[in-house]
Amino acid sequence: MIRSRRWLHGSIAALLAVGFLAWSNMPTSAQPAKKGLVTLRMGYLENISQWVPTLDPADVTDTTGSIATHLMYEGLVGLKVVNGKPTVYPQLAAKLPTLSRDGKTYTFTLRRSLKFSNGDPLTAADVVWSIRRALAASAKSPVASYDNLIQGFDAYNTGKSKSLGVRAAGNNVIIKIQKRASYFLTAFTYNINLVLDKKVLQGKPADDTGTYLTQTCKAAVTSGPFKPVCNSSATRDVTSFYRSGSSPTLTLVPNTRYHGRISNLKLVLPILDSSQTAYADFQSGNLDMASAVPSSDLAQWRGKKGAYLYPISGIEYLAPNIQEKPFDNVHCRLALEYAIDRNALDKNVLHGAYKPLYTVVPPGFVGFYNGKGTPHFSLSKAKSELAKCPGGINTTYVWRNDTPDRRAEAPALQAMWKNAGINMQLKGLVKNDWLPIILAPLSKSHTSLAYDDWFMDYPDPQDYMDILLTPSHVEDNMVWNNARYNNLIAKGNTAATTSARARYYVQAQKLVLGQAVFIPIDNFLELDLVSPKVKGLAPDLGQSIVWAKNNDWSQVSKS
């Protein structure tokens, strides 16, 4: 009797175990694998948890959204790296646009027989609709201002007019801008101008289209090299992109109706909650590529095959409050800057993961120069300037404390200032407390000195010199307003040749840096890791991450 009970108990336990395992392993839906595609698992979507913040090109403000939308959509023109520099090239346009004699009208001609991923014809009307949709007041796009050169932008974007300087004429798209601007085409490569399928999205409320695109896989009818693999045809449910109950993943396969060469890749982009997770996942062999390797590990990767260390567009700088004491006085600002030993900071504190910076524009951009004239480290000069600073410096430095590097940097700066006789208290803030302070005039919060950083929106010096330091922009939190500087920037923005532009921007930088109104600290270096089995990826200054060489994913392979 005892034996038979034991047998019964054993059988029930075994059945329960088998049943549980079967339940736990049961897929919720079948996803047929595409035959012949090479799978690349890429750590592109990191530092996010639930899902990509947005898949609406008109709403993209972060790296993950930019990467995902650039893989799925194209615009009339795009950026690719030529001779190490981001260069505008035609994407949906057959060639670069023709420009009218007054420099204000661009005429783009579309390639012939373009199609979206679902087979819908891609016409000039789709291009015009996409731009108008993104810039409409009801769309509330946070990045609409990248197109603010387009004629009628202000009135159209605020809902006061329906007129916008973008129209279709046959196979052409004609764009009129308000004033000659050398950087227009570069700015026009921004995500906001990527082309969506009018047929799929027309009729949706404009203020809701972004959420719809982000949470509805079937809405992602693409114009670029890839399209998403959908788990279901559900709407407003992020699990339409991936199997419910599994880790969120955006899976992309080639858009077979793409106008360019079709790749042979299946890109699996898992959502990774941190850089550390992505890094560990790469080391475990589960990812073919990871970015943002911790600076403390930089030394072990330097020079190794598949490790790419390169400068990107990001810069760190100090923003003094030039409206209030003590930094309304140039000597106080100069004392502060002379006391900073950038080389020691980058070498000893930041593990060589940054490069000392003495300019506003980082290397690789028009207008970059050697920084001659910018105050370099000199303890004696710092003390001498401090002696001319009325009342000395006894104030607070507000900094962003959310990365190990920044947490190491702030006390190091404090120690350097102390050496020069400057008494600086530290106030570290999390991003969400820091952001409102630096997105308003510093005088509003009575902040004496703030950490600030900037990553380009598009690779042009105007994106630094104009946006960070002219009074019409919220990013000019120092409230620097200098007529000569503004005039030089206006000239740089419209000069016809690259050399002329560079000349104006250099003059403007010397003006602002000589007065220590803007104190550059360093230029971010990016370390990306790629499996040695993967060929055809290279650093891309446009995306600030490793990307397909020449933007050609058909040339990327894995052995």
Partner 1 sequence: MTNMAAFAVRRFLAMVIVLYLIATLVFLIAHAAPVNPVYQALDQKYTPRAAAQLRHEFGLDQPLWRQYSNYIGGLLHGDLGKSESRSTLGESVSGMLKRGVPVTLKLGFMALMLALVVGLPVGLISAIKQNSIIDHGTQGLMIFVYAVPTFVLAPLAQLVIGAQLKWLPVTGWGDPGVLGYKEMIMPVCIYAAGLAGYFSKSFRSFLLEVLNQDYIRTARAKGLQERVVLYTHAIKNTLLPLASIVGPVVAYLITGAFITETLFSIPGVGNFTVESTVNSDYPVIEATVVLLAAFVVVVNFLTDIFYALVDPRVRL
Minimum distance, C-beta of residue 50 to partner 1, in the bound complex (Å): 5
Looking at the Cβ atoms of 173 and 287, the one nearer to partner 1 is 287
ω before 326 within 30° of 0 (cis)? yes
Burial class of 439 by CB neighbour count within 10 A (0 to 12, 13 to 18, 19+) = exposed
Helix/strand/coil for 174: strand
Which tokens hold the place of 410?
């702030």
* 248 scored as a contact of partner 1 (CB under 8 A): yes
CA distance 233 to 212: 13
Q: How far is the CB of 41 from partner 1 (least distance, A)?
A: 7
Nearest residue (CB) to partner 1, 283 versus 394: 283
Distance of closest approach, residue 33 Cβ to partner 1, in angstroms: 7
Whichever of 81 and 437 has its CB closer to partner 1, that residue is 437
What binding mask, one character per residue, do residues 83-122 give for partner 1 by CB under 8 A, x or -?
----------------------------------------
Smallest gap from residue 222 Cβ to partner 1 (A): 19
Element (H, E) at 105: strand 105-109
Residue 220, beta-bridge partner list: none
The pair of three-digit structure tokens given for residue 212, joined into one six-digit string: 């719809």
User: In 3-state terms, what secondary structure has residue 115?
Assistant: strand
Site mask for partner 1 (CB under 8 A), range 217-236, x = bound: -------------------x
Which of 14, 125, 169, 430 binds partner 1 (CB under 8 A)? It is 430
Among 125, 299, 439, 496, binds partner 1 (CB under 8 A): 439
Query: Does position 245 bind partner 1 by CB under 8 A?
Result: yes
Binding residues for partner 1 restricted to 134-193, rule: CB under 8 A:
140, 142-143
247 scored as a contact of partner 1 (CB under 8 A):
yes
**Site stretch for partner 1 (CB under 8 A), options 19-27, 160-168, 325-333, 513-521:** 19-27
Q: Which of 14, 18, 82, 474 binds partner 1 (CB under 8 A)?
A: 474
Phi, psi of 331 (to 5 degrees): -65, -35
Half-sphere exposure of 233 (CA within 13 A, CB side): 0
Which residue, 19 or 84, has its beta carbon nearer to partner 1? 19
Residues 103, 494: Cα–Cα separation, whole Å? 9
Element (H, E) at 445: helix 442-445
Q: Is 86 helix (H, G, I), strand (E, B) or coil?
A: strand
For partner 1, which is the closer residue by CB, 385 or 452? Answer: 452
Query: CA–CA separation, 130 vs 408, rounded Å?
Result: 45
Tokens of 415: 């120690």
Strands 394-400 and 449-454: parallel
Query: Does position 285 bind partner 1 by CB under 8 A?
Result: yes
Q: How far is the CB of 276 from partner 1 (least distance, A)?
A: 8
Only one of the segments 33-41, 146-154, 339-347, 546-554 lies at the binding site for partner 1 (rule: CB under 8 A); that segment is 33-41
State the DSSP string of 124-158: HHHHHHHHHHHHSGGGT-TTGGGGTTBTTHHHHHT
* DSSP states along 10-43: HHHHHHHHHHHHHHHH--SS--PPPTTPEEEEBT
Question: Any contact of residue 29 with partner 1 (CB under 8 A)?
Answer: no
CA gap 363, 219 in Å, rounded: 39
Site residues (CB under 8 A) for partner 1, limited to 48-87: 48-54, 59, 61-62
Minimum separation from the CB atom of position 220 to partner 1 (A): 15
Contact residues: partner 1, CB under 8 A: 17, 20, 24-25, 27, 31, 33, 39, 41, 48-54, 59, 61-62, 140, 142-143, 211, 214-215, 236-239, 243-249, 268, 270-273, 276-277, 279-281, 283-286, 430, 432-433, 435-436, 439, 474
